Structure formats: structure tokens, C-alpha cells
Structure 1
């Protein structure tokens, strides 16, 4: 009799483990970092926790998925409980193997940094205090993080962080650089492009692009050509593998969505040139500010953020950017596995990109990564199910009531 009960619980809980979805919560001010075919999301403000969270989870992009179906989301929040709840932090992928997430944030007047090493644990680090960091990128060989921020409306900081020693160094300024630079993008040749300058510390003017060369430590102020995007704030920027920087979203001085939601900056020409791609109007559920944008292959994955009526989005949206000048809002994602001698994966505040030393791509059938994933789920489920069988038998023998266990949520939060 008890054996039959054991079989029943084995089947029931095995199916429950496979199909039970992770519930996404609407949020703004989170970070997104792309590493090992996963987009890691961290922190952010929610309606329930307006001072920030330490939620930590990832979206698996190694297998095909559809936005109308259950997404493969894995919750890692229990591994990040020692980190302050926060929002408006910055993160980047760095290290010699590009296998470490660096998170940097200010809590009140104090700042903190953590490293998520080998997908296993968060390790605290040192940081400059009393600075609101606005963007961070890792250099090509993974030895330094270039981070930009400002403690007030007068001063500015651009620092480098040595990955080996976690020592902070100030980057010199050769000429009068504006106090507030826009988010930064690392170009394949090692230059960092700051996509515009902030007016009055907030609104971004895209005509001038400040460029810092990490190879020789020199600065350049470039005046772009083409039709520049309208003034905005709270937008994102990603870099495609063919050298195009895509600006998405943003709000105007009235707090409304800007009319030109998507603009493209071609960095293969000198000066850089702006243009507008063809694209259908965004879905009504798509965010227009305080979101993240991550480029995975030919898809720009837009996560969470502000929608109309001050709603915090709990959804994922996607834009297919495979066809130059003709972009499409899509719901289906098909991964393309790229084989190269060494991959360089770069993360930033505004999103993440993946670049490779060459353009050789091999597209594998969807079942190949899916089978690997199924094997992982099957092995994990089998182990967990064994434990569940033991617990179930004990339950039938000794227990007569149900016990519901909820994951702990942060009891306090400190504003970044």
C-alpha cells in the first residue's frame, strides 16, 4: 500500500518540479548580465519593496522559447541574501574567462561591490564610497573594469578596477569632459563610447560622443552625423556584432515616451552616423524606461521597466534585429550557438552584448541544447524525487496536516 503511495508521489512531484513556473514580478532599476547562455537579473525596485530588492534569477537562452509560454526562469535569490536590497546598481561580466559578474551599487552614502564567481557564490569587494555609479564595462582581456559615476553635480569619477587586486585607479582627463556622461559601450577595438552627454545631469544629447581608448588612455570628442535621437533619459543601449549601437526607449522632459523609440548609431564610419530603422509600433505592454536591454544573437531582449500609467512591467519583450534597417517585435526565440576559439562577453548597465573573434557561426537544431537541458532537469528531478518519496512515506505514517513553506523575502531595504 505504501509503495503505491510512493509511486503516486513520485509521479506527482516530478511533474510539479518540471512545470511549476517562477513568477516574475514587475520591477525597475534592476541589472542584467549575459553569461553562459543565461541572462542574470539582479535587484530592482518593486511596488511591494520600493526601496529595492536582492532578487537574483536568470533566464535560460540556450533553448528555444516563446513569450506566450512558460519561460525557463531559475531563482537564485537564496544565494544572494547577504547582499543589500538595492536598485539602480551597475553590473558587468569580467575576469580573464569572462565568468564573473561584478555588481557595484551605492547604499545611502556607502557603496558596495560583489563578485559572483563561477556561478556559485557572491564575494564582497572594496569600492569608492559616496558615488552614484552610472555605468561599467570590462576591457577586452578581462583585466580591468572601467566605471563611471558622479557624487554631485560638480565632480565626476572615471575609475578602473584591477580584477587581480581589486585596486581602484582614477582615469585622467585630457580636456574638459562634461560632468555627466551617458551610458558606455565597449567597441570591439577596445574603445569605450559614451553615447551622448547628460544635460542638467539627466537628459541625454546624442550629438557629441565621448570616446576613451583603453589601448593608449586617450580621449576623443566626436560630433556625430545623421539625424540624432531626441533628448531623453532612462533608455538603454546595446552593440550588435556588425558595429551598430541600438538605442531603445527613454522619456522626455514631461515624463512621456519619446516618439523615436529606436535609433541606430553606425560605429563603422567616421564620424559615427545616426539613423532610424523601420519597425512596427511597440506592443502596449512594452516598457519605455528603466528597463534593461540585452543582445543575444539577433535578438534584443527587453526586460521589465516602466510602462504607461506608472506600471512596473513583469514581462519580457524581444526585437529581432537580424535585418538591417528593418526590425521586428517577435515572441519566438531560436538560439544560435557560436563556435569560436574564445568568446568575449561584455555586460553593462544598459544591457549586455556578445562579441566573437570571428564571424563563423554554426546553428544547431533546437533539440541539441534542449536535450542537454532535459538531461539536467531529469537528473535533478530524479534526485529530488527520491528525497520526496522518503518524505512522503514519512508524511503518510506520521502527519495529518499540510505545511506550506514560503521563500523568505527581504525584511529591510536601503536605497541605492
Structure 2
């Protein structure tokens, strides 16, 4: 038998310190962009980003300390099957809305591959999707909108292989696991071709499409933020609207984010423009969807400028 160390209490302290470090060292995700995120109950899941297969979440029911966010990393046990990037989007569906659907658009395969992540048993799968032959082209820079009935609406996007923008609509039924192409009901009212937009579902079943681009030229001209496309998921019809922005200028942008808060207010944040060389102003703005004509707001209490926080 080996002899005990001369100072056993030092060994005990060393072991205690090591255990303490293991237990208290929290996961700190590195900076990233072109990732995707979903909210399931009280957990905000973040997936991937450029050259990343990480998946982790933040429990938003706990008090938030922005200086020390308590992330839970799932990557060691359940890494994303691909290096998620700007080509993907995610949505929540399936039974009891506990499954993350990750859309991977692979130009090499010329098809959309869907991965599902079961948040209960934390396992990835590739489900068999019916009517996949209805998808006419791979799309990048898309955002999915999910309704309470498990349907995921995939609009427009961009195909970098063919350098083409789209304004078509596909629906994935996450319960029946089947695709459906929604042909426009009117040849007169057509949605604006766009990618890099935001898609926000309102309580009245309207999906609001804001911003983005339909120009892949050198300067990547972005779509006017007042040019709103609206899809009624109940009737399957499109309408368009020019939002009121008399009191504020919301600079055009793509790759921004949007969140619906109470009272029909959509908060947009960030984005980029001019071939990713410019940060649009203001960083944060609010679109009020309650009036007949939607209205943009920006004030010292609701909006930020890049110069204020840089």
C-alpha cells in the first residue's frame, strides 16, 4: 500500500478546489453570428452559427444577470449533426411543441434536409417527410414562422447556386410530417421577393414579413422597412402595406431579428446593410400592428443607435 502524504489536509483542499472548479465553472459561449434560436416554455435554445455545431439554452424563468448568464451546454451529449450556419432556420413543433425542427439547405444535395431535436430525451433524428419532391429549390436566408397547430411557414429566400430570390410559400406540417406548396390565390397581389427578412406571427394569424433584400449586387440593396408583406394563414392570401414612419426613419436592413411583445408590438433589432459594411440606424425600433396602417416608433426610451452603445 502507498503511504499517506505528509500533509493530507493539503490533498483534501486540492481535491475540494478541483471539485469546486468543475461544479462552478459555467459554460460561456463564444461570439457568433448566423445562428438560430427558439423558445420552448422557459428555455431559450441557441443553435450553431458559422462553423459551429453547438446547442445550448438559457432558462429565462430565472433572474437574469447580463454580466453572468447561466447557459446550459448540450453539445457534448447532443451536438448538431451539421455545422449550422446562415443557410438554416429553426422552428418548434411536433407533439406538445417540444421538438426543434432545424432546416438545412444543402446546395450540393439540392434539397432541404430536416433534423429534429427532441428536447425531452435530447436526441437528434432525421425524419421522413412526405411530399419532399414539392420543394422546387434549396433556399437560404429564410425564417420560419410557426403556428399553434404545428404548421411551419417557409417563405422566399435565396439560392446562392442559381443566384435567385424567391417569393413562394411552403408549409411543413410537423405533426403529419408532410410538405405543402401554397400557390398564390391572386396573380395581382404578390408578396415582395425577399431573403434575410424577419417573420412574425400575430395572434390574428397574420405573418408579418419585414426587411431583407432581393438584390445580390455589389451593394446588396435592402428592402424599405416600410414595405410590409402580410400573409393570412387562415385564408392563404397575401396583402401588402406601407407602414407609417412619419416621425422616424428606420434604415433598411437584413439579418435583423424581430420579437412580438404584448399589444401587437413587434420589436426589431440589429441587422446589416450595404454588403454587410454598415450598421443600420436605429438598432432597435418598434412596429405597432394595432392601427389599420402599421406605425413605426422610435424614442429615447424605445430605441438605440449604434453610436450610443459602441
Range class of TM-score, shorter chain: 0.7 to 0.9
Unpaired runs of 5+ residues, structure 1, are 46-51, 287-307, 309-416
TM-score, length basis structure 2: 0.79
Is the 8 Å Cα contact of residues 212 and 253 (structure 2) preserved in structure 1?
Answer: no
- The 3 A distance-change label for structure 1 pair 283 and 12 is farther
Where do residues 236-315 of structure 1 align in structure 2 (5 Å cutoff)? 236-253=257-274, 255-279=277-301
Distance across 2 between alignment mates of 1:268 and 1:10: 60
1:208 and 1:222 in contact (8 A); partners too: yes
Return the match for 1:177 from 153, 178, 191.
191
User: What is the RMSD computed on CA atoms of the aligned residues?
Assistant: 2.8
Give the CA deviation at 1:55.
Answer: 1.1
**Structure 1 length-normalised TM:** 0.60
1:188 match:
203
Structure 1 match to 2:85:
87
Residues 107-256 of structure 1 correspond to what in structure 2 (within 5 A)?
A: 107-110=106-109, 111-119=112-120, 120-125=122-127, 126=129, 128=135, 130-141=138-149, 143-148=150-155, 149-151=157-159, 152-153=163-164, 155-173=166-184, 174=186, 175-180=189-194, 182-196=197-211, 198-200=213-215, 202=220, 203-227=222-246, 229-253=250-274, 255-256=277-278
Query: More relative contact order in 1 or in 2 (CA 8 Å, sep 6+)?
Result: 1
Is contact 1:86-1:107 (8 Å) kept? no
Aligned residue-pair number: 279
Which residues of 2 match residues 34-53 of structure 1 at below 5 A? 34-45=39-50, 52-53=51-52
Q: Partner residue of 1:31? A: 36
Deviation at 1:105, TM superposition (A): 1.9
* Kept after mapping to 1: 8 A contact 2:269/2:283: yes
The CA deviation at 1:78 is: 2.5
Matches of 1:223 and 1:285, distance apart in 2 = 29
- SS of 1:229's equivalent in the other structure is coil
How big is each residue's C-alpha offset from its partner over 1:145-183, in whole Å with a ceiling of 9 and x where there is no partner? Answer: 111234342544310001123211111212332221532
For residue 238 of structure 1, report the CA deviation from its aligned partner. Answer: 1.1
